[in-house]
Structure 1
Amino acid sequence: MTAGPALLDPPSARRRAGAGLQGLDTTEVERSDRLALMRSGELGSVHSWELVTAVDGPGTRMTVFLAGCPLRCLYCHNPDTLAMKDGGAVLADDLLARVARYRGVFAATDGGLTLSGGEVLMQPAFAARVLRGAQELGVHTCLDTSGFLGANATDAMLDDTDLVLLDVKAGDEETYRRVTGRSLAPTLAFGRRLAERGVGVWVRFVLVPGLTDDPANVARVADHVAAIDAVRPGTVQRVEVLPFHQMARDKWAELGRTYELAGTEPPSPEATEAVREVFRTRGLTTC
């Protein structure tokens, strides 16, 4: 999501951050206590959660959207998750109790838990505690991240992560900064680290006409992804080329924010398929 790059064409994706916190207990604590609990990972700022299928990893997933993100992507589909203060205070143990209720569903569908956002690595201690607890429950775990804060992920956290959905938003620094306001280099470093540790990766790339669709940019993204896979062949299990859509426009308006891509049309199926072929020429599997 990451702030997830969730601008997809239906029916391949139906997720929408904003399903709420129904079924999760929120905790009222004093600010000083809250900060201490967040530092220990016992408490997190959670925007919402929902059950989805074939969107945020394999099988049926419980996707939990954490609040807070350091990026400001022009096409952000979840702008309501950008501020950590906008989330509800949820104890890791309460979240894990909800995860435990769906173990049967996860087992039947080869699904599991996905931590998304926002940016999950804004809250590394909370994420680490939840991932450890999910592993102890025998639940498959997944992180959906831009990788910009990859340095926040400890080796122990990655050992508890079965899969990473890595958003590679552009292939060069100039375009990446235009899209996100931040630097590309940390994402690439995190990708290499995942490969070195043997963590499986699904790469996501959002194809936005006039923003990320320049052939040179697409080629650089494909080269970066191939380089990550070359560290440990098979690390990159698939590349999802996600066609931009206008599903986020109303959210931006409701929040009173200027949506710079209001006039941008989705890419054609032919253009999207041509970009997938660029990745295939590097020996990568696409969808």
Structure 2
Amino acid sequence: MTVKGKIHSFESFGTVDGPGIRFVVFMQGCPFRCLYCHNPDTWNFDGGTWYSADEVLNKVKRYLPYFKNSGGGITVSGGEPLAQPEFITELFKKCKQEGIHTAIDTNGFTDSNSHAVNTLLDYTDLVLLDIKHIDSEKHESLTGFSNEKVLEFAQHLNKRKIPVWLRYVVVPGLTDFKPDIIKLREFIESLINVEKIEILPFHKMGEYKWKNLNLEYKLCDTPPADKYHMEKVRKILYPDKLKSE
């Protein structure tokens, strides 16, 4: 039986979703309702288009020369890719046969003991893990769910020694509270598999999508993160790096 996945869209030359030039697959469907999400059109599990792994692979293979020259590969994002692990496993198996580097961009909201998820991780070279907030109650206010599963997944990746690039969005007044950033740094320091930390500035480029979908955008009065907000977080998460500059 052919395994198919619900896909929202593709990006041919991604440069911010892992090393090198990436072919990015945006899966359809996500359980989170992040207040700052710039792709709310990927939330609905009933949307998107069905694709087989072979159909996606045929698209990916067109860019093999770019992957080899840049150290790139394929990144599956979302939506939330871990909501469709069987399909991505099938796709990644085929990618590995072609020597293509594989990465998942995920919010980590999954069952770390799931056989399907762990099978997928067997074929995953890199996980881009978005930690929305280190405080569980604030995480729930921000996404609709606590961060218990997310932190468990981060620790699970650490035990499996799977390389992680950790991502954190700086939202003024929501995710830049100093004690929370210190707590996040302490959590990151407990992991040995984090290769990179990316702090991303909150922006409003996706606000129009909320309006088009008749969704209430609660961050209308929240300013985009500027240099001041980014530097405040950076100084806590990168203290050694800053001292050496």
Q: TM-score range by the shorter chain?
A: over 0.9
The one of 221, 224, 238 equivalent to 1:280 is 238
Residue 53 of structure 1 deviates from its aligned partner by 3.8
- The answer for the alignment partner of 1:11 in structure 2 is none
Aligned residue for 1:86, secondary structure, equals coil
1:261 matches 2:222: no
TM-score, L = length of structure 1: 0.80
Q: Separation in 2 of the partners of 1:53 and 1:70?
A: 24
Q: Report if aligned partners of 1:141, 1:162 keep a CA contact under 8 Å in 2.
A: yes
1:105: which partner in 2? 66
Per-residue deviation, 1:220 = 1.8
Q: Give matches, 1:44-63, under 5 Å.
A: 44-63=5-24
Which residue of 2 is the match for residue 156 of structure 1? 119
Letter in structure 1 aligned against 2:163: G
Asked if the contact 1:168–1:221 (Cα under 8 Å) also holds between the matched residues in 2, the reply is no
For normalisation by structure 2, the TM-score amounts to 0.93
Which runs of no fewer than 5 residues in structure 2 stay unpaired? none
> Cα offset for 1:145?
0.2
**In structure 2, what is the Cα distance between the partners aligned to 1:154 and 1:119?**
13
**Amino acid aligned to 1:123:** Q
1:91 aligns with 2:52: yes
What are the equivalent positions in structure 2 for 1:199-214 lying under 5 Å apart?
A: 199-214=162-177
Q: Structure 1 residues 221, 52: closer, same or farther in 2, change over 3 A?
A: farther
Q: Does the CA-based 8 Å contact 1:202-1:236 persist in structure 2?
A: yes
Instruction: State the match for 1:191 in structure 2.
Output: 154
> 1:171 and 2:129 equivalent?
no
- Does the C-alpha gap of structure 1 residues 225 and 150 become closer, same or farther in structure 2, counting only changes over 3 Å? farther
What amino acid is the match of 1:158? L
Deviation sequence 1:96-127 (CA, Å, 0-9, x none): 11112211111111100000000001111101
CA contact (8 A) 2:82 2:117 kept: no
CA deviation after TM superposition for structure 1 residue 150, in Å: 4.7
Instruction: State the match for 1:142 in structure 2.
Output: 103
Equivalent residue, structure 2, for 1:251: 209
The one-letter code of the counterpart of 1:222 is R
2 CA distance for matches of 1:256 and 1:200? Answer: 39
Once the two structures are TM-superposed, the CA of residue 277 in structure 1 deviates from its matched residue by 1.7
Equivalenced residues, count: 240
Unpaired segments ≥5 residues, structure 1: 1-36
Distance 1:182 1:275, change over 3 A: same
Which stretches of structure 1, 4 residues or longer, exceed 6 Å deviation after superposition? Answer: none
Give the aligned partner of residue 90 of structure 2.
Answer: 129
| CA root-mean-square deviation | 1.6
Indicate the percent of aligned positions where both proteins have the same amino acid.
Answer: 41
Match for residue 239 of structure 1 among 190, 197, 201: 197
How far apart in 2 are the matches of 1:66 and 1:116?
6
| Structure 2 residue 182 is matched with structure 1 residue 219 | yes
